[in-house]
Amino acid sequence: MLRCGGNAVVRVYYHELSASSFSMRHRCRQKFCRSKLLCFWLLLVFFVILTVVFMDPLFGDLTKKDPISHPHQRLASASDLEVLVDSRDQAERYGALSSLSSLKDDQLLIVQATPERNPPQPKKGTYKVLIPGAKKVTAVPVPTHGDWGRPVRLKLQGREKDIEEAGLRKYGFNEVVSERISLRRRLPEIRHPACLTQQYSASLPSASVVICFHNEAWSTLLRTVHSVLDTAPRQHLHEILLVDDLSQHGHLKSVLSEYVSRLDGVRLIRSTKRLGVAGCRMLGAARAQGDVLVFLDSHCECHGGWLEPLLHRIAGDRSRVVSSVLDVIDWQTFQYSAVPQLHRGVFDWRLDFHWEALSEQEDPPTRPIQSPALSGVVLAVDRRFFQKIGAYDPGMGLWGAENIELSIRVWLCGGVMEVVPCSRMGHLERSHLTHTLPDDDTAEKNKIRVAETWMDAYKQIFYKRDTVAYFIQQAESSNCSDRVKLRQTLGCRNFHWFLSNIHPELYIPQDRPGLSGELYNVGTGYCADYKRGRVGGVAMDISPCSGNGNQHCELNSQREVRWGPAGQLCFDVRGEQVILSDCPQRQPSLSRQQWKMTKQSGQIVHMMTERCVEAVLGKGVASQRNGTSERGVVGGRDTPGNRGAQDNATATERGLFLRPCSSDPRQQWHFDQLVVPRPG
């Protein structure tokens, strides 16, 4: 029994051992199969990744080379590409907001490309975040008109002509021509040869390009974006921020959102309130992440190599604010024309901006040009310096003088404004202003803020030449205390320092009582005037007194009768006609430009000829005083003094002329000063 039982135990143990061995062999086979299967999948994944790595650059290059570029491209609704989130924190998850502070949440709406695949369900919120679309868009042929900056001239008729004229009224340029030009057209090389040899460091600061727009045309906006992408080195271009200042045009809604979602490095931010130039740019600056902010108008074309010179100047001194040389894009033909001379930016006593050609070219021609002011078309500034000096003035209205305010503040508070010759940018000049302001006095109120904050006692010169601003200030008393406090905090210099060191060429009017103001003629009841916008040599005119400061002039202690908002034009003579010509700079006044006024008779006497200035109205023009006609008849009587003047004047003469001095009331003048300086 025992042995038998032992054999049974042995047999049982043997069977159990055999079963265990079989199970182990079976498991080994399973593991081996799994290993083979795992290796197979790993090899498959490896080949897929390898295929993507080698094929993606090819398709990526093709995409970059031929983007969705047709101006008329209309994509399907992009509502399924947008997700609403409730708060700023949720928006941060999408990378839509930077860490800088900016406007309140109810003033902002963000459109942003993001890699997340499973966004939250749409619900009501403050921010709108755009997610990448998967819709396929068929490429269309790229237009070739206007390549290399050549002009495009169309001979349109009928309905096409009507469309062209409608676009011109809407945008201030020929939209039909713009739509026939490639969004990525090439430009001619117009930089100085010395610029082509310039070498720049590979470690230049990064740039965030901020492009604000309001109801911009599709073609000009996207041409601006693509010109930045095509010309700015990717290692220096951190991002492009498109900031929509509450546009109403349909093509700037979901169609633009989807288009932008396909552009690498471009973000679209939409404001839910109208902000204007200053507010819109501050919104973009607050969301920017690059070291340098580059503010750019929405209708520009970047020339190759435009960005590096700007970044190079800022890298050398973070307090520099720099601009490109602005070439001209014709509003009718879109011809790209290089400016023949280098310019610097200046402003006059009405706080209007002008470009002033340099009398002498820089040597070397690559040397940056210090500029009293910059236009704002393209403006590069270190992001931290921009925030430090107060960004743009948030109290500024929609448009006007924001560039003047920033220019003065930069100079007075430790910065420098420069034009960099090796950086070129094409700017589309509109034929007329197309935007409407809710308040007709917006630009005037902006100028008032500049004057009250920065100009000290010199603001009286501004008010005498812009009486509309003076009366607005008297009625509303603008509050600039926050900016005055900023000026004190920053320890800024005074405006006299600016005039003495930065813009010494700007003539400082004397505005002596009784010898400045509107030059009123007793005999005609009109005021002396001239055609604005013309160069020196224009004939003086006589026209109804405007009372707005445009006719302001002065007789100074150098015996010059100075005109113009910058006081740059002087009374001169051509034959017997009184004209305006450029005043001499840094030298004594010319003898033919010297005058004196006899207070008792009110006569203005030309000292070289001893003749008097007389007002003459053209034939058929009635005066505003005592029924005086073009024949100089005062009160219906033909006086002996008048008869001599009539004999010398032709029927077509109009303006100011030198005549033998007489008692003719048309030779009697006095200055009307509309703005009286406050005592003390």
Q: Give pLDDT tens digits for 368-377.
A: 999 999 998 9
HSE-CB of 1 using CA atoms within 13 angstroms: 0
Please give the pLDDT value at position 83. 37
Given a cut of 60, whether residue 631 has pLDDT beyond it is: no
Question: pLDDT band at 85, cuts 50/70/90?
Answer: very low
Given a cut of 70, whether residue 10 has pLDDT beyond it is: no
Given a cut of 70, whether residue 494 has pLDDT beyond it is: yes
Please give the pLDDT value at position 584. 86
| 166-428: CATH superfamily | Spore Coat Polysaccharide Biosynthesis Protein SpsA; Chain A (3.90.550.10)
Please give the pLDDT value at position 39. 72
CA distance 215 to 434: 10
The DSSP 8-state label assigned to residue 196 in this structure reads G
Query: Out of 126-130, 283-287, 382-386, 396-400, which region has the weakest mean confidence (pLDDT)?
Result: 126-130
pTM, to two decimals:
0.76
Question: pLDDT band at 51, cuts 50/70/90?
Answer: low
Residue range 516-672, CATH number: 2.80.10.50
Given a cut of 80, whether residue 66 has pLDDT beyond it is: no
CA distance 33 to 45: 18
Please give the pLDDT value at position 192. 94
Please give the pLDDT value at position 158. 84
Identical topology for domains 166-428 and 516-672: no
Location of structure tokens 């010509």: 581
CA distance 513 to 677: 10
Higher pLDDT, 326 or 14: 326
Given a cut of 70, whether residue 645 has pLDDT beyond it is: no
State the chain's mean pLDDT as an integer: 80
Which DSSP helix (H) or strand (E) runs through 474?
Answer: helix 467-476
Given a cut of 60, whether residue 438 has pLDDT beyond it is: yes
Mean pLDDT to the nearest integer, 7-24: 45
Would you mind telling me the total number of residues written for the chain in this entry?
680
Given a cut of 90, whether residue 380 has pLDDT beyond it is: yes
Given a cut of 70, whether residue 77 has pLDDT beyond it is: no
Please give the pLDDT value at position 535. 58
Mean pLDDT to the nearest integer, 78-102: 39
The string of DSSP codes covering 435-471 is ---SSTTHHHHHHHHHHHHH-GGGHHHHHHH-HHHHH
Buried-exposed string 532-557: b where 16+ CB fall within 10 A, e elsewhere = eeeeeebbbbbbebeebbbbbbbbbe
The DSSP 8-state label assigned to residue 502 in this structure reads I
Given a cut of 70, whether residue 533 has pLDDT beyond it is: no
Give domain limits for the chain: 166-428, 516-672
Residues 98-112: tens digit of each pLDDT: 333 334 333 344 444
CA distance 354 to 339: 15
Residues 444-476: tens digit of each pLDDT: 999 999 999 999 999 999 999 999 999 999 898
> Using DSSP, how many helices (H) and how many strands (E) does the chain show?
16, 28
